Structures are given as C-alpha cells and as structure tokens.
Amino acid sequence: MTPNDVKWIQIEASSKCNAWCPMCSRNKNGYGLRDNLVEEDVPTEKVQQAIEKLPNLEMIEFCGNLGDPVIAKNFLELIAVAKTTRAKIRIHTNGSLRTEEWWTNLAKELANVEHDIWFGLDGLAGVHEIYRQGTSYQKIIDNATAFIQAGGTAVWQFIPYAHNEHQIKDCLKLSQRLGFKRFELVKGFRRDQQARHYRTGEPFALDPPTTIHRVMRMPKPNTYVDPNNCMHQYQSSVFMNSNGKLNYCCFFGRKGSVNNVEELLYNKVDLTRETCIKECGS
C-alpha cells in the first residue's frame, strides 16, 4: 500500500472523555482511570500533515479509542482541516457533550460537506446509561435533535447487550421519528463480563446479547484473518492516535505506532498476529 492507495483515515481526536463505559481501555472496567493514561488532544498540525500526504482520501473519520472526539479543544480546527479535502467526514460520539447551540453550529459547518455523525445510544432512558456510564440520555437526544433540525445527518448507533436488546425496535422507531438517517446495530468489541459502577466501584454483569443479531459479526477461533476482514487492507485505511502517531487500526492503539505515513505503509501487516486474530478473526 502506498499513500496514494489510502482511502480512509481514522483519527482519535482526544483521549479525554466524560463517559465511563466498562471495558474501555481508558478506565478500569468503568471505575477509575487506568494507570499512566495521558489525556491529550491530537495536534492539528499532525492531522494536517497526514492528510496532505494522503491525496485520495474518501473518508475522514473522527472516532474514539481512549476518548470522545468532540471533547477536543481543537475539534473545530480539525473539522476545518478535514473540509479542505473532498472526503466524507464521519464522527463517532456519545453525544452527551457540548450544548445544543454547539451542535446547531456544527451542522452549519458541515452543511456543504458529505457527512454523518454516529450518536451512541444504547437503549432508552435508564437503560442506555447502564453501559454508557456518566452520560445523559436526554442530553444526547436534545443534542442530536438540535443537530438534525439544523440540517445535520445523524446515525443512531446501538450496541446490543442482554440488558438492552429488548429495546431495539423501540429505539429504531424513535430514531425514525426524530429524523435520524439510519439505525445501526454494531458489535460490542468489549467482551469482558465483569463491569464496575463508575461512582461506587461495585461490580455488575454486562452480558452479551442472547441473540446473535443478523448484522453483527461474531468472532470465532482462528489462526488467520482474511484480508477482506481487515479494515486496514479492505478499506485501505490508517489510524492516528491522539498523540499524532499512526498505526494500522485502532486495535493496535499506541503499540508500535510510528511518526509518519510512509514509515507505516512500508511495513506489511501480519494477519496472523495475536491482536488481529483476537479482534478480527472470523
């Protein structure tokens, strides 16, 4: 893969977050930050340098690995950089940050750009917050509604668990009434069963869904990852950490990350490595 081949870049805009989702890499099963976590926003100049070296980008995706992108102080600067390309802009967020006015203004900023924002809503009030600890269901609905009414394109993202799968149809119907363009079920990659309450530290069960939903890809033991199931290869993509360094994808995080596009692409990804098998084996 050469820089000209890369069509997609995922950018971790920040390692900061307001949520305490169990099994997130930034915390200890939902209670307390992990040791040695560095909270930072990705430098705008690092994003600009990477984008300038990737002339054929079709997607610029601001996602979360250790944090939520919209919490970044320079987030609107990052959007301005992304808008200098012809790429679609995608944002993944828990949606419980910023104000309705901020979301209205963001919709106006993206008015002439192909875009979508994926709001993480894993159930209705009282159920959504079981996994998305520390977020406010009503605030997310208010922010998403403000964004949609200002012309923004929104997607309702739902991660099924045993405690929320009974609300999938109700959430789908509500998403349609509110004007979300799509409703997406996604697999929960955080598979540990033990979770902790973000305020008390008390353990509680976070069980997987009882039904393997049609749209969910469930991992099976294997010793190899098919190239068509590797995002880095299938979508010709790269991932940037909040420290501005690059890797193949978010599952590698900072481990083995490098300083520039060329250094990353001149190394061939080994699809038999443990991380690849664990996360994308099928």
pTM of the model as a whole: 0.92
Q: Are 261 and 246 in contact (CB under 8 A)?
A: yes
Which pLDDT score, from 0 to 100, does residue 146 have?
98
Which pLDDT score, from 0 to 100, does residue 79 have?
98
Q: How does pLDDT run across 61-85, given as a tens digit for each residue?
A: 999 899 999 999 999 999 999 999 9
| Non-local CB neighbours of 254 within 8 Å, separated by 6+ positions | 241, 243, 245, 247
Which pLDDT score, from 0 to 100, does residue 192 have?
54
Torsion angle, alpha carbons of 259, 241, 42, 187, to 10: 160
Which pLDDT score, from 0 to 100, does residue 231 have?
83
Which pLDDT score, from 0 to 100, does residue 220 have?
52
Q: How does pLDDT run across 177-228, given as a tens digit for each residue?
A: 999 999 999 877 555 568 999 999 999 988 888 876 544 444 455 677 888 8
Q: What percent of the chain has pLDDT over 90?
A: 73
DSSP bridge partners of 90: 61, 116
Q: Are 131 and 161 in contact (CB under 8 A)?
A: yes
Q: Which fold has domain 3-216+239-271?
A: TIM Barrel (3.20.20)
Q: Is 104 left (phi over 0), alpha (psi -120 to 50) or beta?
A: alpha
The domain limits of the chain are 3-216+239-271
φ, ψ of residue 137 to 5 degrees: the values are: -55, -50
In which residue ranges of the chain is pLDDT below 70?
A: 189-193, 212-222, 282
